[in-house]
Amino acid sequence: MLVHSRTGRWTAWAGFAVLFVPLFALPFLVIVAASFSTNWSGAFPSGPTTAHYAAAVRGESLQALTTSLVTAVTASLIALTAGTWAALAGAALGGGGPWGRRAKRVLDALFMLPVAVPSVVVGLAVLVAYSQPPVLLNGTRWIVILAHTVLVTAFAHQSVSAAVVRLDPMYEQAAAGLGARPSYVLLRVKLPLLLPSLNAAAGLCFALSMGELSATMMLYPPDWTPLPVLIFTRTDRGALFTGSALAVVLMAATLLALLAVSRIRTKASYR
Amino acid sequence: MPTTGTPRAIPPWVWALPPVAVLAVVFLYPLALVVQESLAPGAYADVLASASFREALVTTLWLAVASTAGCLVLGFVLAVVIAFVPFPGGKAVSKFIDVFLSFPSFLITLALLFLYGTVGMANGLWTDVTGDTTGPFQFLTTPWGVLLAEITYFTPFVMRPLLAAFSQMETAQLEVASSLGARPLRIVRQVILPEALPALAAGGSLVLVMCLNEFGIVLFTGAKGVTTLPMLVYGKAILESDYAAACVVAVVNVALSVGLYVLYRGVSRRAGA
Amino acid sequence: MTSGIRFDAVSVAYGGTTVLDRLDLTVEPGEVIALLGPSGSGKTTALRAVAGFVRPVSGRVLIGDRDVTALPPYRRGIGMVVQQYALFPHLRVEANVAFGLKARKTPKDEIPGRVAEALEMTGMAAYAHRYPRELSGGQQQRVAIARALAIRPKVLLLDEPLSALDAQLRSGMLAELARLHRELPDVSILYVTHDQVEALTLADRIAVMDKARLQDCGTPQDLYRRPRTEFTASFVGNANLLPVTVTADGVAFDGTELNVAPGDATPGAATLCVRPHLVGLGEGPNALRGRIVEVQWRGSTHRLYVEVGGHRVKADVRELRETPLLGSEVTLHFAPEDAVLLAAGVNDDH
C-alpha cells in the first residue's frame, strides 16, 4: 500500500476516476448510446430506436459482417499455422550452435517486420505486387485475406515463440527418452502444451483482423467489404448512428470470439 | 563424430524454409517491389521537394512524439493507482484495458465525434446552458483531435507492461521506504519510477512506432488539415493513383518505423518485456 | 542379448570446455552404479550421453553390444527419471505411463496390462485417473518411475531422482528403489546423485566423479574403507586427512612416528586418511596429544575437534558421561589397520 491516509487514498481514486471515465469508459458508452438513437443535437441523444440494429443484421451490413468474420477466421488460421511453424523451426535452429542462433535471430526479425511496417504500406505493397503478373489478385477477396494474413502473422509468431521459449525442454527430452520420435513429440507433447498460447494467439489475430482498416482501405473490392470499411463509408456519408450500430456489432462479435477462445484456454491450462 | 549407420535427421534449417518462403512471397517480395517502384526516375526528388510531404512528415513526427509523451504520463499515473492504491473493481479495470486493446482505433474517433463534435455532447451541454448557437469545442478536425484520440487509444499499450512490471515489484520496498518516513510522492519518484523505467521505455517506443503508422484515427477524423505519412501513402496511391510517389512516402515511413522498432526491441529485450 | 552400459573413453565438451574427460566405465547387466560427485563434476553429462541428449566429441557409448553413440534418444530403449519428474501435465497418470508404449507402437491390447503392471509395481494404481498436478511430489516421483519401467527397459537412468523430495520421503523412496531393483534383477541402473547416503545405500558400485573425471570406482565398502584419493576419502563419508611424511623407516605425522603400514607408498609427502569414528579417546596405538578446540553434541556421539600440532583432528566419540571441556588436553588414538595412506598432492583443496 502506497498511500496510507484515508483522504490521500480517496484523492488518488478521484483523480483516477476523473481521468479514466471520460477517456476510456465514456467513448464506448457514447457509441452504444448513439447506436440506439436517431438524433443527438443536445447534451444527450434522443429518439430511441432499434432500427439501426435491424438494418445492421440485414443486406449489405450482414454481408459486411460475414465478410469480416470469414476474412478474420481464414487469416487467423493461416497466420497461426505459419507463425507456429516459424516459431518451432526458429526454436530448433536456436539449439544448433552459434550459426543456428544467428539464423534464428534473422528468422525472428523477418517475422517481426510486419509489426513495424505501417499497415498502409503493407496494403500498398500487396497491391503493387499482386496487380501485376505472375499473380493477379487485385479486385478479388484473396488480396484482402492475404494482407490480413501478413499483418497478423507477426503477432501470432511473436506470442507463440514467446511460449515456445518458456516450454521446458525436459518434457521433450522425457518423451524422446521414452522412445517417441520427433513427430510424435510434436503432436502429443509440444502442441498440446502450447495449446493455451495458441488459443491466445488465435484470439489476438482474430481481433486484429476484425478491426483492420488501413490495409483494407487500399485493397477491398466492392464485393468484399469488411465491417470496418462499411463503418467508415457510412460515417463518412454522415450516417453516424448507423455507423455506431455497426461498430457495436463489430465490438460484440470480437468480444464473443475472445470470450469463446478464453473459455477454451481455461479448459486447456494444465497448471 | 561417428554418424555411420543412422539415417540423418532433416536439419533444422530445412524446417525453417517453408514459412520463410511463404513470408517472402506474401510480404518481402511485395515490400521489395515498393522499394523498386520508389526508385523511379525523379520520384524521390519530386516527393521530397513537395510541401505536402514535408508538412506530412512534420505533422506525423510531432503528433507521434506528443501522443507518446501523453500516453506515458497518463499511463504511468493510472497504472500507479491501479497497482499501488488498490480499490474494489481494480481487476475489472485491468480486464477492461485488455479488452480495449482488442478494439480497432477508429472507434475512438467515432466516439469523440459524439463527445466533442459540432453537435456532440460537450457542445450540446454548452448551447443548452448558455443559449449560444454553437459550442466552443471545434478542435476535433484539427491535429488536437487526432492527438486526443491517439492518447486515448494508445495509453493502454503503456499501461499493460507497466502493470506487469509493478506486479513483480516487491511491496516490501514500498513498506520499507514508507517506514523510513518517505511520503507517497517521494516513493513514486524514488522507488516506483526507477523500477518502471524499462517498462516505460519499452511501452513508449512501441506506442511511438504505432503512432507513426496510425491510419484509422486520422482517416475517421476526416480533417483536411491533418495529413500524416500513412494518409499521404493512401492519398497518393488510391486517390491520385500516383504509385511512384506513394512508394517513396512508404519507404520513408517504413525507414522511420522500422528504425524505431529495432530500438524498441533492443529496449524491451533489456527490460525483459 | 546382454544389457549393461559401457563408456569407452567418452569425452563431452561444450564450446571448448571439457565437461566429461575420457570416461571409461562399465555397468554390468543388472548392476546398480551410482555416479557420485559434486555439481559440475560431469556425472549428469555422463548420464545424458547414455540417454542421447548430449553427443560425445570422442569415444563410444554402448548399450548391451550396440554402439548407440550416434543414435537419437528415441532409438536407445532406455528408461529415464529426472529430478523434476517431467510428467506431461496435459495427460492423466495412466496416459503418462502409457506414453512410451504408444510411442513405440506397442500393440493396443497389451498397453492397459503393462500400464497397470507398472503402476502396481510403484504403488500408484489407485491414482491412474489423476492429473500430475493433483499428486504430491513423492507420488509424482512414483509415476515417473512407473512411466520409465512401463517400456521394460534394460537400462534405467536415474538423474538425482530424490533430490526434489524432503528428507523423510527421500529415505522411504530409497527403500522403495532398492525393492524395485530386487524385483527387476536384469535391469542395469545408472544412478546420478550428489548424496553419498543414496549412493552407499543403493549402489553395487560407486563411481566418484570430480572435475569432469572419474576419480575412483569400487564397491561402497571398498571406497569407504580403502579410498584411493583424498577426494574420494572426503566425499564418501567423513575423513581426517593428515599430512604425513613417508620415509624408509615408516610414516611420521607432526614429528611423531606412526604405526601404519606404508604399503607401496613412495618416500616423501603423503596423506593419511582416518575416519573420525575410528579415532578413540585415551591412550592406545598411534597416540596423538592435543587440545580440544570445539565440541559438538550429535545425539549418539560427541564430535571433538582436537588441535594436534597445528592440525585439526576430528573424533566421533560415543558414550561420554560428561561433555569434554574446551581447552583441555586429551590424547587420541587409532588402530593401525584403520588408517589408509593416500598419494598426496592430488587435491590440495580438501
DSSP for A61-113 reads HHHHHHHHHHHHHHHHHHHHHHHHHHHHHHHHHHTSHHHHHHHHHHHHHHHHH
Closest CA to C94 of C143, C137, C142: C143
Residue in B3, B4, B6 to test binding to C, most C beta-carbons within 10 Å: B6
Q: Can you give the length of chain A in residues?
A: 271
Last residue of a domain, one of A11, A33, A49: A49
Report the pLDDT averaged over residues A103-124.
Answer: 88
DSSP C73-128: GGGS-EEEE-TT----TTS-HHHHHHHHHHHTT--GGGHHHHHHHHHHHTT-GGGT
Residues A34 and A122 in one domain: no
In this complex, the chains that touch C, judged by 3 or more CB pairs closer than 8 A, are A, B
Question: In sequence order, what are the beta bridge partners of C332?
Answer: C281, C288
pTM: 0.81
Residues A36 and A132 in one domain: no
Residues A32 and A141 in one domain: no
> CB distance from A179 to chain C under 8 Å?
yes
> CB distance from C8 to chain B under 8 Å?
no
pLDDT at B223: 64
pLDDT at A60: 84
**The domain containing residue A18 runs over which residues?**
1-49
B156 close to B101: Cβ distance less than 8 angstroms = yes
Place of cell 524521390: B44
Residues of C in contact with A266 (CB under 8 A): none
Q: Can you give the length of chain C in residues?
A: 350
Last residue of a domain, one of A13, A30, A49: A49
Q: What is the DSSP letter of C227?
A: -
Q: Can you give the length of chain B in residues?
A: 273
CA separation for the pair C229, C304 (Å, rounded): 25
With vertex at residue C333, the alpha carbon angle to CA C294 and CA C264, rounded to the nearest 5 degrees, is: 115
Q: Which of A171, A173, A195 sits opposite C88 (nearest CB)?
A: A171
CA separation for the pair C33, C25 (Å, rounded): 10
Contact A170 C73 (CB under 8 A): no
SS3 C245: strand
Contact C99 A170 (CB under 8 A): no
Q: Which residue of A has its CA nearest to C134?
A: A271
pLDDT at A144: 92
Contact C67 B1 (CB under 8 A): no
**A27 pLDDT exceeds 90?**
no
CB pairs under 8 A between A and C: 76
Contact B26 A149 (CB under 8 A): yes
What sign has the CA pseudo-torsion A114, A119, A123, A124? Answer: negative
Residues A31 and A65 in one domain: no
A176 close to A185: Cβ distance less than 8 angstroms = yes
Residues A100 and A217 in one domain: yes
The per-residue pLDDT for range C245-278, each reduced to its tens digit, is: 888 778 888 878 888 877 767 788 888 899 998 9
Q: CA B23 → CA A134, A153, B26, C345, distances in Å? A: 17, 9, 5, 63
Residues A224 and A103 in one domain: yes
**B48 pLDDT exceeds 50?**
yes
Residues A150 and A247 in one domain: yes
Residues A237 and A118 in one domain: yes
Residues A18 and A120 in one domain: no
Q: Which residue of A has its CA nearest to C133?
A: A271
Contact A124 B247 (CB under 8 A): yes
Return the exposure string of C231-262: e unless at least 16 CB atoms fall within 10 Å of the residue's CB, then b: bbbbbbbebbbbebebeeeebebbeeebebeb
The domain that holds A95 is classified in CATH as: 1.10.3720.10
Q: What is the dihedral of CA C244, C245, C246, C248, to 10 degrees?
A: -140
Series of mean pLDDT values for 10-residue runs along chain C (350 residues) = 82 88 92 91 91 90 90 87 88 92 90 92 91 90 91 90 82 87 89 90 92 90 87 86 84 83 77 89 87 87 88 85 82 88 54
Which of the listed ranges A7-11, A76-80, C234-238 does the model predict with the highest average pLDDT? A76-80
Rg of chain B, C-alpha, whole Å: 24
**What stretches of C211-310 show up as alpha helix (H) in DSSP?**
220-225, 230-235
Closest CA to B85 of B200, B187, B181, B196: B187
Residues A192 and A91 in one domain: yes
In this complex, the chains that touch B, judged by 3 or more CB pairs closer than 8 A, are A, C
Residues of B in contact with C72 (CB under 8 A): 6, 9
Last residue of a domain, one of A31, A49, A67: A49
pLDDT at A81: 93
> CB distance from B167 to chain C under 8 Å?
no
Residue in A178, A185, A188, A266 to test binding to C, most C beta-carbons within 10 Å: A178
Residues A10 and A62 in one domain: no
The per-residue pLDDT for range B22-35, each reduced to its tens digit, is: 999 889 999 998 89
**A47 pLDDT exceeds 80?**
no
Residues of A in contact with B33 (CB under 8 A): 125, 128-129
The per-residue pLDDT for range C56-65, each reduced to its tens digit, is: 999 999 998 8
User: How many domains, chain A?
Assistant: 2
CA separation for the pair C37, C32 (Å, rounded): 16
| CB neighbours of residue C131 within 10 Å | 18
A14-18's contacts with Cβ under 8 Å and 24+ in sequence apart are: A15/B77, A15/B81, A16/B77, A16/B78, A16/B81, A16/B82, A16/B85, A16/B87
Contact A43 B84 (CB under 8 A): no
Residues A87 and A24 in one domain: no
**B138 pLDDT exceeds 90?**
no
Please indicate whether residue B179 or residue A256 has the higher confidence score (pLDDT): A256
Q: Which three cell numbers stand for residue A254?
A: 470480437
